[in-house]
Chains A and B, each alone.
Chain A
Amino acid sequence: MINLTAVVWGTTGALFAFGLAIVVLRRQLLAMLLGLELMLAAVNVSLVHHAGIFNDAEALAVVALVIAVAAAEAVVGLALILRLRRAGSGADAALLTELQG
């Protein structure tokens, strides 16, 4: 018999670990943004499962807010990346070493 909680914890851990590895190991800004989205999705899976177990509507509300914030963060991140591309800085995080006022 498969335990759903074990499946959810395994999935959450694997997704979060892969997302963290993507953010740390890959150098393209777009790939790092995708890794962040992966980590947020991982946390949401765990929150939804435990909201059902503990009958907690506040956890579901937090998941809805996280989804909305992640969407806004993706839009801002993508706009920044496109702006960097137009400025000729490229999409490689290693090349972004200076801030300009």
Chain B
Amino acid sequence: MAWAALVAGVVAAFFAGVMLLHRSLYVSAVSLLVVLLQTAVLFLLCGSPLLGLLQVMIYAGAVMVLVVVTIMAAGDEGGRFADFSFPKPLAWLGVLAAVGETALILSHAAAPAAVQVDPALQAQLGAVLFKPYALATEAVTLLMFLAALAIAPEPETAA
């Protein structure tokens, strides 16, 4: 199972390098998406499937859509923003990594975790979030609400 973690780690580091070296912001954003999906795989292999699911839903599902839309909205600033093509070798590498990791995980049958984790740990997460960390949880909720206000359109001012 550690082989799957090694594949996920190497692929994540490689695409992080692509983020640094590639000129196109669109390629950087899609590379970050691949990195985040690989970290979700690492979460799963480390025995935290719930956080892996959250990572996929929040980062890969919501934040990356916002990032790509912002890049497209800023698309008229010169040539470096205008290219929305993704290199095919990199795309195939991402697909191969996903298939390879799935095969490695499924080949070890039942539990996908690479470490022995107490099954009660995931259940304790909710209790910790809403008991000792309740204030922090509420603060983060308020922060997310304020962040939603940040993208609200400005009211029209009368001339």
Contacts and interface: CB of A to CB of B under 8 A. Distances in A.
B69 to A, nearest CB: 8
Nearest to B127: A57
Contact of A38 (B32, B66, B125): B32
B51 A81 contact: no
**Max chain A CB contacts within 10 Å: which of B2, B19, B73, B115?**
B19
Interface of A: 1-4, 7-8, 10-11, 14-15, 18-19, 21-22, 25-26, 28, 30-31, 33-35, 37-38, 41-42, 44-45, 48-49, 51-53, 55, 57-58, 60-61, 63-65, 67-76, 78-82, 85, 90-91
B85 interface: no
**Max chain A CB contacts within 10 Å: which of B48, B71, B129, B148?**
B48
B150 A11 contact: no
5 contacts: A61-B129, A64-B129, A72-B143, A73-B147, A75-B66
Given A10-B9, A19-B16, A85-B73, A64 B51 contact: yes
Contact of A67 (B54, B115, B125): B54
